[in-house]
Amino acid sequence: MSLHISAKTGEIADFVLMPGDPLRAKWIADTFMKDVSCYNEVRGMLGFTGTYQGKKVSVQGSGMGIPSALIYGTELIREYGVKTIIRVGTAGALQGHLKLRDLVIALSASTTSGVNREYFGPGEYAPTADFNLLQRAVEAAKALGLTFEAGNILSTDAFYPPSEDAYTPWKEHGVLCVEMETAGLYSLAARHGIRALTILTISDSLVRGEHSSASDREKSFADMARLALHCR
């Protein structure tokens, strides 16, 4: 048992999917997993363990933003021996060719967050996905017939940007989309020697001003969750 997770030793798999929304964690468990048990309800941040295609997997809500994600990621690693974390979530497209419901696999994560300055001072660390896990996701996507983009994304601390042109430099450098957790997760994984990957669904286009409907979000989230589970 840790400060924010009430699971007992052995109740969490070494392979964890980590959506921000705890209700998405429940939805993944209910939709894809068998023999499911809930191991955490502390602060409403639900966590579940079950099996997928005969393999033990867990799914743990992390809340929104890098600080919250790092709380749950750190406790999963330090207290429960988790070796693989795959973040699954939504993102806003920064490139015009990305459409609603497109899948993005985050090769690396630029960031406006200052979280890594705690470790590197003025130095610039480049948070990057685990290559073998990335390769497994690419192979799984092809096997499942899912199209995707892979590349650099942006992790920001501000859900609402400070100005209309705040993302312009990132767009000009080919950054695919923006979300709020991956740079922290990739840095945490590197620090502890575990594997991490982020798989995202485009839910909004910051280029076209488009937004997904509730039904579209559910369908595309299913593709993303299925892809992440196939990385087990």
For the segment 33-50, the average pLDDT, to the nearest whole number, is 97
C-alpha–C-alpha distance, residues 189 and 16, integer Å: 13
- pLDDT of the residue at 12: 98
What is the CB neighbour count within 10 angstroms for residue 67?
14
C-alpha–C-alpha distance, residues 227 and 195, integer Å: 16
For the segment 155-179, the average pLDDT, to the nearest whole number, is 94
Single out the residue of 226, 228, 210 nearest to residue 101, CA to CA.
210
Catalytic residue among 14, 157, 204, 216: 204
Q: Which residues contact 165 (CB under 8 A, 6 or more apart)?
A: none
Q: What is the pLDDT of residues 183-227, one digit of tens each?
A: 999 999 999 999 999 999 999 988 988 888 766 665 568 999 999
Q: What is the CATH number of domain 15-229?
A: 3.40.50.1580
Q: Taking the model in full, what pTM does it have?
A: 0.95
Higher pLDDT, 112 or 208: 112
For the segment 165-176, the average pLDDT, to the nearest whole number, is 96
> Which sequence spans correspond to the domains of the chain?
15-229
For the segment 118-132, the average pLDDT, to the nearest whole number, is 93
Spatial contact of 13 and 58, defined as CB atoms under 8 Å apart? yes
39 CA to centre of own chain: 20
C-alpha–C-alpha distance, residues 37 and 111, integer Å: 35
130 among known catalytic residues: no
- pLDDT of the residue at 35: 98
Q: Which residues contact 212 (CB under 8 A, 6 or more apart)?
A: 90, 100, 101, 202, 203, 204, 220
- pLDDT of the residue at 212: 81
